[in-house]
Amino acid sequence: MSTESLWLIVLACAAATFIWRALGVVVVKRIDAQGAFFQWVNCVSYAMVAGLIFRMIVMPESDLAAVSLTTRIAAVAIAFGAYFLFKQRLVAGVLAGGLSMSAMAAWLG
Amino acid sequence: MLLSGNSVVMRKALLDALSLPAFILFFTMMGFGSLARGAGFSAEMSALSSMLIWGLPGQLAMVELTSTGQGIIAIVFACSLANARFLPMVVSFVPAMARGRASLPRMLLDAQLLSINSWAVCLREFPHIEPEFRHRYYVTFASSILFAAIIGTLTGYHGAVLLPGSMVLGLIFVSPLFFALVLSAVPGRAERFSMIFGCVTIVLAHYLFPSVDVLIAGGVGGSIGFALNKFLQRRNVD
């Protein structure tokens, strides 16, 4: 593709993403933050983010797909174990999970 | 005691960013940088994509479809769809920030700076911060990780760091893991129900409508979580 079309793609994609953000601002200016509609949108965003993360771990499209589901779940379990063991420190959980994933991937192939 | 004071809050935001999220973004955007190079984008275009699109699922859709030679309209549409989650995320985020009355351009700027990292971390930290200093925390945190993301994109683009495959897997894994841990501490019954049903829904949605699976998971899972919470509330009242 030409340089011009690649630039066009980047800028158009940025604008097309910004539309959603701007719409969010428009909506938020019009609603009551204590109301039922806000509560529903709040639930939708939590469900979306949780779904996205669940997909990244359980049905990954990244290189993680090469690792078995059992290995991925084991690494998540180790991460949560370390997280609660070390007074809910995120660093402890992430470090334990990431390292155990690397170790299992290296050993199990 | 709630945290207050500009310098206190900014220092906390910087430390919170550097404790993990900045590194996570650095590494995930490294992946994006190398993919963008493979698809024919220049280093400037890749860095600007991270800065202006600022949503990895959309960026990945852009790069993937460009490398397979799709038309511009299809590429932009797919990128936009992959980032549509920003609409509900902005709506749920702004009231929690309690910024009060801000002008429209300022609100748009805040919305542009929002990413899934800032959203999750700030919603977790806001209850511990005095409302008038929350915006300061958010802007400091979000711009720090944006900076890390741009550096990561350029590092990945130039292939400066070559790591063994098993280590790369560990690094890729860190990103969803971080969010899973952050979200496990989310209080509120409605939110918890919604997250559970979001996970259940996405399995089905992924097989049926892979390109909009996250939106379906949000719409269906969130609605069930919301309704279930309302139902239980009503039953307790009566």
Query: B173 CB near a chain A CB, below 8 Å?
Result: yes
Are the CB atoms for B36 and B49 separated by under 8 Å? yes
Could you tell me which residues come within 8 angstroms of residue B219 by beta carbon, excluding any fewer than 6 positions away? A44, A47
pLDDT at residue B168 tops 90: no
Across chain B, what does the average pLDDT equal?
92
- Please report residues of A whose CB lies closer than 8 A to that of B24: 94
**ipTM of the prediction:** 0.91
| Mean local confidence (pLDDT), B7-15 | 96
Integer angstrom CA distances of residue A68 from B56, B57, B163: 24, 23, 21
What is the structure's pLDDT at B178? 92
Query: B119 CB near a chain A CB, below 8 Å?
Result: yes
Please report whether residue B176 resides in a domain. yes
What is the structure's pLDDT at B161? 65
What is the structure's pLDDT at A4? 94
Q: Is the backbone of residue A88 left (phi > 0), alpha (psi -120 to 50) or beta?
A: left
Q: Which residue from B40, B92, B164 is facing A45, i.e. has the nearest CB?
A: B92
Please report whether residue B1 resides in a domain. no
Instruction: Judge if B198 and B176 occupy the same domain.
Output: no
Instruction: Judge if B106 and B204 occupy the same domain.
Output: no
What is the structure's pLDDT at A61? 82
Instruction: Judge if B50 and B142 occupy the same domain.
Output: yes
Rounded CA separation B146/A12 (Å): 20
| Mean local confidence (pLDDT), A28-42 | 91
Instruction: Judge if B12 and B62 occupy the same domain.
Output: yes
Query: A77 CB near a chain B CB, below 8 Å?
Result: no
Other CB atoms closer than 10 Å to residue B100's CB: what's the count? 8
B202/chain A closest Cα distance in angstroms? 6
Please report whether residue B205 resides in a domain. yes
The pLDDT tens digits for B194-229 are 999 999 999 999 999 988 999 999 999 999 999 999
CA atoms within 13 A on the CB side of A70: 2
Tell me which chain B residue has its CA closest to the CA of residue A59.
B203
Rounded CA separation B69/B14 (Å): 40
Instruction: Judge if B45 and B111 occupy the same domain.
Output: yes
Instruction: Judge if B69 and B122 occupy the same domain.
Output: yes
Choice between A94 and B101, residue whose per-residue pLDDT is larger: A94
Token readout for A106 is: 């290296």
Number of domains observed in the structure of chain B: 2
The pLDDT tens digits for B120-158 are 999 999 999 999 999 999 999 999 999 999 999 999 999
What is the structure's pLDDT at A1? 82
Residue B237: pLDDT band by 50, 70, 90 thresholds?
A: low
Query: A3 CB near a chain B CB, below 8 Å?
Result: yes
Query: B220 CB near a chain A CB, below 8 Å?
Result: yes
Query: B214 CB near a chain A CB, below 8 Å?
Result: yes
Please report whether residue B226 resides in a domain. yes
Other CB atoms closer than 10 Å to residue A67's CB: what's the count? 20
Domain assignment of residue B215, given as a range: 187-238
Other CB atoms closer than 10 Å to residue A60's CB: what's the count? 17
Q: Which of residues 25-84 of B touch A (CB under 8 A)?
A: 31, 40-42, 45, 48-49, 52-55, 57-59, 62, 66, 69, 72, 75-77, 79-80, 83-84
Could you tell me which residues come within 8 angstroms of residue A69 by beta carbon, excluding any fewer than 6 positions away? A58
Please report whether residue B174 resides in a domain. yes
For A92-96, B32-36, B233-237, which range has the lowest pLDDT when averaged over its residues? B233-237
For B139-148, B183-192, B225-234, which range has the lowest pLDDT when averaged over its residues? B183-192
pLDDT at residue A109 tops 80: no
Instruction: Judge if B201 and B228 occupy the same domain.
Output: yes
Q: Which of residues 41-70 of A touch B (CB under 8 A)?
A: 41-59, 62-64, 66-67
Instruction: Judge if B221 and B123 occupy the same domain.
Output: no
Listing DSSP states for chain A in one string gives --HHHHHHHHHHHHHHHHHHHHHHHHHHHHS-TTSHHHHHHHHHHHHHHHHHHHHHHHS--SGGGGS-HHHHHHHHHHHHHHHHHTTT-HHHHHHHHHHHHHHHHHHH-
Query: A74 CB near a chain B CB, below 8 Å?
Result: no
What is the structure's pLDDT at B136? 95
The pLDDT tens digits for B81-92 are 999 999 999 999
Q: Which of residues 121-140 of B touch A (CB under 8 A)?
A: none
Instruction: Judge if B46 and B140 occupy the same domain.
Output: yes
Domain boundary among B186, B204, B221: B186
Are the CB atoms for A47 and B198 separated by under 8 Å? yes
Helix (H, G, I), strand (E, B) or coil at B55: coil
Instruction: Judge if B89 and B148 occupy the same domain.
Output: yes
